[in-house]
Amino acid sequence: MTLAGKDEANLTKSFAGLRVLDFSTTIAGPHCTRMLADMGAEVIKIESSEGETMRNRPPVRNGCSTAFGQLNIGKKSLVLDLKSPDAVEIIHRLVTDTDILVENFRPGVMQRLKLDYGSLREFNGKLIYCSISGYGQTGPSAELPAYAPVIHAASGYDMAHLAYQPGRSRPDYCGIYLADVLTGVYAFGAISAALHQRHSTQQGQHIDVSMLESMLSLTLNELQWSQFEVKQTPRPLFGPLETADGYVMLAVASEKTFQSLIGVIGRPEWIADPRFAKYSDRRDNWADLMDGVETWSRTLATQKCLTALNAAGVPCSAYRTVAEALNDPQIAHRSALSEARDGGGTFKVLNLPFRMSGANVSAGKRMATLGEHTVALLEEVGLSQQEIAAYAGKPLVSELR
């Protein structure tokens, strides 16, 4: 029985009953809090009157960004002027009944607003306060501005990647922001751990998540080799093999896989070939091995290559576009996509990449409009209709970054 779809809909959500104040913008923080929302937390996104900048990022339909929706579906929207004493008072009231706060301003911004952990724990000692920043909250680089591409370069990731591109001397451009997504996932994990710890201690804590260190965690081998004054041992590079009509990727990572592969391509003599007999031999002659495999793959269409390789248990895939990947029947089988709605219509968002037998982890269905929940939340913290009207009439500010 699958955990996706109709069966999951009957389950509760793991973080149901938790409240999150989300001060984060762009990708890393919103990705983290979107995960919390999917797990059932009530996430209140704090925005300026102009709205977060991602609300304008394409694709945009009828003024609504689906990129913003992917990161913020299922959250409430509260518009506040964080430079206003009234807004700070409202946050103080909200914090008394809040479990988690997430922010990704530059270090020092929340302190200047008197919304830092030290200030807010006076109102709620159980508050779990998560700060996401480029380099961490303290230290010589703490206040430097940072976005994902900068962190990719600063962490050594781009140069490490370059070392695996034969014939290249210039680092690649990167349009996919690994640092943001990875850091958001680390923040989610740290928050989950802090929630577990709070069960026994009854105390909250401050979580300090660094994008730089998050990216360094991707350089597993390189991190170790960088500590020693010896040349890094070359290792096999898995890359595209040309077919008659495209490219395939295959991975030969074990002796069993190698033997299966040479059976598929009709080269049983390679078992005794001194270039390929042992793993160390294959590593030293990897280009020859891949050239030999490509001689076979070029004679077949991509799908025929995949059929033969899969039948023999050789890990492989065609090189697909994201659109092609989303159309994979496996994605439909796992109900990996949910249909969401905003002012521009419907669009698909990706659910969390795990399923739980005892919890529903599917995404929300609707994107809140800017400030949609402001009045209800101001009423909740005790403001009168007259106070709300007066507050709403004040000029509301904007960017703090």
Count of beta carbons in the 10 Å neighbourhood of residue 264: 19
Count of beta carbons in the 10 Å neighbourhood of residue 379: 13
Domain match, 153 and 13 both? yes
Domain match, 339 and 277 both? no
User: What integer pLDDT is reported at residue 196 of this predicted model?
Assistant: 98
Last residue of a domain, one of 259, 285, 318: 318
pLDDT in tens, 243-276: 999 999 999 989 999 999 999 999 999 999 999 9
Tally of domains within the chain? 2
Written as six digits, the tokens of 180 are: 């943001």
CATH code for the domain of 296: 3.30.1540.10
Q: At 211, which amino acid appears?
A: M
Confidence grade of residue 396 (pLDDT, cut at 50, 70, 90): very low
Residue 232 covered by a domain = no
Domain match, 111 and 257 both? no
User: What integer pLDDT is reported at residue 10 of this predicted model?
Assistant: 81
Contacts of 251 (CB under 8 A, 6+ apart): 238, 257, 314, 315, 316
Residue 205 covered by a domain = yes
Written as six digits, the tokens of 154 are: 């600063």
Backbone angles phi, psi at 340, to 5 degrees: -120, 165
Q: At 10, which amino acid appears?
A: N
Domain match, 179 and 303 both? no
Q: Which position has the token pair 């339909």? A: 61
Domain match, 123 and 200 both? yes
Q: How many residues does the chain have?
A: 401
Q: CA-CA distance, 95 to 103, in Å (whole number)?
A: 14
Residue 121 covered by a domain = yes
Domain match, 354 and 257 both? no
Residue 76 covered by a domain = yes
User: What integer pLDDT is reported at residue 3 of this predicted model?
Assistant: 54
Average pLDDT, the chain: 93
Last residue of a domain, one of 318, 349, 377: 318
Q: Determine which of 32-46, 97-111, 232-246, 293-307 has the lowest per-residue pLDDT on average.
A: 232-246
Helices (H), 47-84: 66-72
353 pLDDT higher than 80: yes
User: What integer pLDDT is reported at residue 397 of this predicted model?
Assistant: 32
Domain match, 126 and 257 both? no
pTM: 0.92
Confidence grade of residue 69 (pLDDT, cut at 50, 70, 90): very high
Q: CA-CA distance, 385 to 295, in Å (whole number)?
A: 76
Domain match, 215 and 352 both? yes
Q: CA-CA distance, 58 to 71, in Å (whole number)?
A: 13
Residue 1 covered by a domain = no
- Identify the helix (H) or strand (E) that includes residue 288: helix 286-297
Residue 172 covered by a domain = yes
Q: Cβ-count burial of 397 within 10 angstroms (0-12 exposed, 13-18 middle, 19+ buried)?
A: middle
1 pLDDT higher than 70: no
Q: CA-CA distance, 19 to 17, in Å (whole number)?
A: 7
Contacts of 228 (CB under 8 A, 6+ apart): none
Strand arrangement of the beta sheet that strand 205-210 belongs to:
76-79, 42-47, 19-22, 100-103, 128-133, 205-210
Last residue of a domain, one of 269, 288, 318: 318
pLDDT in tens, 169-227: 999 998 999 999 999 999 999 999 999 999 999 999 999 999 999 999 999 999 999 99
Residue 203 covered by a domain = yes
Confidence grade of residue 229 (pLDDT, cut at 50, 70, 90): confident
User: What integer pLDDT is reported at residue 401 of this predicted model?
Assistant: 30
Domain match, 196 and 69 both? yes
Comparing C-alpha atoms, which of 282, 113, 107 is closest to residue 209?
107
Average pLDDT over residues 25-52: 97
User: What integer pLDDT is reported at residue 246 of this predicted model?
Assistant: 96
pLDDT in tens, 147-167: 999 999 999 999 999 998 988
Domain match, 147 and 211 both? yes
* Percentage of the chain exceeding pLDDT 70: 95
CA dist 398 to 78, 130, 334, 363, 368, Å? 13, 22, 40, 29, 19
Domain match, 53 and 101 both? yes
Domain match, 283 and 343 both? no
**Integer-rounded Cα radius of gyration of the chain:** 25
Residue 301 covered by a domain = yes
Diameter over CA atoms, the chain:
87
Q: At 245, which amino acid appears?
A: D
Backbone angles phi, psi at 72, to 5 degrees: -130, 10
Strand arrangement of the beta sheet that strand 240-242 belongs to:
240-242, 247-250, 316-318
Task: Report helix, strand and coil shares of the chain as percent, to nearest 5.
Answer: 40, 15, 45
pLDDT in tens, 96-139: 999 999 999 999 999 999 999 999 999 999 999 999 999 999 99
Confidence grade of residue 400 (pLDDT, cut at 50, 70, 90): very low
CATH code for the domain of 172: 3.40.50.10540
Q: CA-CA distance, 307 to 164, in Å (whole number)?
A: 29
User: What integer pLDDT is reported at residue 392 of this predicted model?
Assistant: 65
Confidence grade of residue 381 (pLDDT, cut at 50, 70, 90): very high
Q: Which position has the token pair 């492989």? A: 316
User: What integer pLDDT is reported at residue 253 of this predicted model?
Assistant: 85
By three-state DSSP, how is residue 181 classified? helix
Determine the structural domain holding residue 256 and report its residue range: 247-318
